[in-house]
């Protein structure tokens, strides 16, 4: 029996196992980072809405029934909003966050502006 060959095989299995575990943990860390980024962006967006008293303005902008003349502040506001949705979309596309979570966010966000009723 060739012990060096057996030990070499065990070392190879151990090395591959460590590499797989590192890959899994790195993916988990990336997932948490993307989800944290998404939550931080939502918090910044919500804070901007509150601080600038944009609640009524957002309802007007996102309503298909209201004609709104866009102002510079509206564009900034909408870019903030769309950036959050984009980050969640990209994370879901890369399978770093749940596709169900990202889809729910997109549907909840876009349904009012598209005048869609979600059941």
Residue 85 within a domain = yes
In a domain, 81, yes or no: yes
In a domain, 17, yes or no: no
Q: Is 9 helix (H, G, I), strand (E, B) or coil?
A: helix
Tokens of 73: 């502040």
Q: Output the pLDDT for position 115.
A: 56
88-101 pLDDT, tens digit per residue, is 888 888 888 888 87
Q: Residue 95 phi/psi, 5° resolution?
A: 60, 35
Task: Please check whether residue 102 lies inside any domain of the structure.
Answer: yes
Residue 72, in any domain of the structure: yes
Model's pTM, two decimal places?
0.65
Residue range of the domain that includes 60: 33-114
pLDDT at 20 over 90: yes
Q: What is the pLDDT of residues 24-74, one digit of tens each?
A: 999 889 888 888 888 899 899 889 888 888 888 777 777 767 777 777 777
Closest by alpha carbon to 71, among 61, 82, 84?
61
**Domain count for the chain:** 1
Q: Is 114 left (phi over 0), alpha (psi -120 to 50) or beta?
A: alpha
């Amino acid at each position: 029996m060739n012990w060096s060959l057996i030990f070499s095989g065990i070392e190879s299995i151990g090395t591959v196992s460590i590499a797989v575990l590192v890959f899994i943990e790195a993916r988990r860390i990336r997932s948490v980072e993307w989800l944290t980024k998404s939550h931080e962006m939502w918090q910044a967006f919500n804070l901007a809405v509150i601080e600038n008293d944009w609640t009524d303005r957002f309802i007007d902008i996102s309503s298909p029934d209201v004609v709104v003349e866009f102002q510079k502040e509206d564009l900034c506001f909408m870019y903030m909003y769309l950036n959050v949705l984009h980050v969640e979309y990209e994370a879901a596309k890369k399978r770093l966050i749940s596709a169900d979570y990202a889809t729910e966010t997109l549907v909840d966000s876009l349904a009012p502006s598209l005048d869609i009723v979600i059941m």
